[in-house]
């Protein structure tokens, strides 16, 4: 072997070893919607429905915050009286490798309280201490900051800088205590660079949960996919897809192994303007009717989609290759979603890109009862297999 071949082989060996190392460390991060306990009949999902070996990180959604820097408990009855936090963290006794985090914020928390707290050094310090205390009190392994979004939705221009300060101050307290710090961030390539100082927050976060879903939904005038992997030929904005978001975040030079790609175990639903026009980009007049268990117009859990197809008849399955996503329709109802082959594409994508993991929103939307003859939790299981094994 001459020297160049030898050094090439060595480089290849290191590259292969690096990929294996990253994958061995790969994160499968699943959000748990704590309010899923209120869903009716078979849709009810409690902490005892969580398989503690399915995901290696679980995130309890959500807690909130007050303008005085105190933590806001969202549902005293469920979170505390019924043992929500305690039972969630007790899952680590069954699987000691499991990490459990608490998410603070979320879509409905908006920005105002975060913005008020973070622009004042004393309030910010109070909040940082309170969150640290909360995580320790209930025995979480860390926290996930879901401010949606700095500078937007009730925020102020200085949020961008003050969000970095928040993350750095949390890190300074969490890291020495062995606690994890993550953040759920916007996947919008136009907005994210305005919301965040990307390299700066990346330097202090253990992982970045990229919310690569909700690209299209019933707020749009035409049908489209919740989480297309790539752009379709007729997309009005070619950046509204997982690949464009991932590449934009990576373009800031952040460590790939800390970037976690989001996936959704729910689809987005539409009511068609014309039941005869059923394609991708067909005119829609608003949200589709809510599902039997999640009862939210405009969205359908995977378990709702697959059972409807299996039990009701008349719901077909259409694969849309440009987006690597699927849709189904009947009458004037249209659902764009990821079924098994779509989620496998995404798992392989995250693997091939050398990303630090995959996240799932949410564990309680998969077919956790195994109703559809694809096994229990087929979406998360197939995502995991594709990410770890290709």
Q: Which residues bind ligand NAG (CB under 6 A)?
A: 64, 66-67, 72, 109-110, 112-113, 119-121, 158, 161-162, 165
In the bound complex, what is the minimum distance in angstroms from residue 192's beta carbon to ligand NAG?
17
Nearest to 202 by CA among 252, 133, 243, 264: 252
Q: How far is the CB of 366 from ligand NAG (least distance, A)?
A: 29
Q: Closest separation between CB of residue 196 and ligand NAG, Å?
A: 13
Distances (CA, A) of 88 to 16, 82, 97, 139: 36, 11, 14, 9
Least CB distance to ligand NAG at residue 158 (A): 3
Measured from the CB atom, is 109 or 243 closer to ligand NAG?
109
Q: CA 270 to CA 363: how far, in whole Å?
A: 23
Q: What is the residue-wise DSSP string for 311-322?
A: HH-----EEETT
Cβ-contact 298, 239 below 8 angstroms: no
**Whether 380 contacts 30, CB under 8 Å:** yes
For the bound state, the minimum distance from the C-beta of residue 65 to ligand NAG, rounded and expressed in Å, comes to: 7
Out of 97, 110, 148, 318, the active site residue is 148
Given the structure tokens 């189904």, which residue do they identify? 328
Residues composing the chain: 390
CB of 285: closest distance to ligand NAG in angstroms? Answer: 30
- DSSP label of 76: I
Q: Which residues contact residue 367 at a Cβ distance below 8 angstroms, ignoring those fewer than 6 apart?
A: 302, 303, 306, 307, 374, 376, 377, 378, 379
* CA-atom Rg of the chain in angstroms: 21
Cβ nearer to ligand NAG, comparing 6 with 72:
72
Strands 259-264 and 357-361: parallel
Residue that has been written with the tokens 């890190």 in this structure: 171
**Cα 386 to Cα 357, 372, 381, 389, distances in angstroms:** 11, 20, 9, 5
CA–CA separation, 49 and 58 (whole Å): 13
Q: Could you tell me how far CA 163 lies from the centroid of its own chain? A: 20
CB nearer to ligand NAG: pick between 22 and 73: 73
In angstroms, rounded to a whole number, what is the distance separating the alpha carbons of residues 84 and 29? 19
In 3-state terms, the chain is what percent helix, strand and coil (to 5)? 40, 20, 40
Q: Which is nearer to ligand NAG, 124 or 384 (CB)?
A: 124
Q: Are 361 and 184 in contact (CB under 8 A)?
A: no
Active site includes 148?
A: yes
Nearer to ligand NAG (CB atom), residue 112 or residue 190: 112
**Closer residue to ligand NAG (CB): 159 or 206:** 159
Minimum separation from the CB atom of position 259 to ligand NAG (A): 25
**20 or 72: whose CB is closer to ligand NAG?**
72
Catalytic residues: 148
């Amino acid at each position: 072997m001459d020297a160049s071949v030898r050094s090439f082989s060595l480089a290849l060996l290191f590259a292969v070893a690096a990929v294996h190392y990253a994958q061995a460390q790969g994160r499968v991060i699943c959000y748990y919607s704590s309010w899923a306990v209120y869903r009716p009949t078979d849709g009810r999902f409690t902490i005892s429905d969580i398989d503690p070996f399915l995901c290696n990180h679980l995130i309890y959604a959500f807690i909130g915050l007050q303008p005085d820097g105190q933590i806001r408990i969202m549902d005293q009855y469920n979170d505390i009286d019924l043992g929500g936090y305690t039972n969630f963290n007790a899952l680590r006794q069954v699987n000691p490798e499991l990490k459990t985090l608490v998410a603070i914020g979320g879509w409905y928390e908006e920005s105002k309280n975060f913005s008020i707290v973070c622009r004042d050094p004393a309030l910010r310090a109070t909040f940082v201490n309170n969150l640290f205390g909360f995580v320790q009190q209930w025995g979480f392994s860390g926290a996930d900051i879901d401010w949606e979004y700095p500078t937007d939705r009730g925020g102020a221009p200085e949020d961008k800088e003050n969000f970095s300060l928040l993350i750095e101050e949390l890190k300074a307290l969490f890291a020495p205590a062995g606690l994890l710090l993550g953040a759920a961030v916007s996947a919008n390539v136009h907005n994210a660079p305005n919301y965040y100082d990307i390299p700066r927050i990346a330097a202090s976060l253990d992982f970045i949960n990229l919310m690569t879903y909700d690209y299209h939904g019933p707020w749009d005038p035409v049908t489209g996919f919740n989480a297309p992997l790539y752009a379709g030929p007729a997309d009005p904005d070619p950046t509204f897809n997982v690949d464009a978001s991932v590449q934009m975040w990576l373009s800031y030079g952040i460590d790939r192994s800390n970037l976690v790609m989001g996936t959704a175990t729910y689809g987005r639903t539409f009511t068609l303007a014309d039941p005869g026009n059923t394609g991708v980009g067909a005119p829609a007049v608003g949200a589709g009717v809510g599902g039997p268990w999640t009862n939210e117009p405009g969205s359908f859990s995977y378990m709702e989609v697959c059972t409807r197809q299996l039990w009701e008849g008349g719901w077909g399955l259409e694969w849309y290759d440009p987006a690597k996503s699927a849709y189904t329709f009947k009458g004037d109802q249209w659902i764009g979603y990821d079924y098994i082959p779509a989620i496998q594409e995404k798992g392989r994508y995250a693997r091939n890109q050398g990303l630090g993991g995959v996240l799932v929103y949410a564990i309680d939307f998969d077919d956790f009862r195994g109703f559809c003859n694809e096994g229990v939790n087929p979406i998360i299981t197939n995502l995991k297999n594709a990410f770890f094994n290709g």
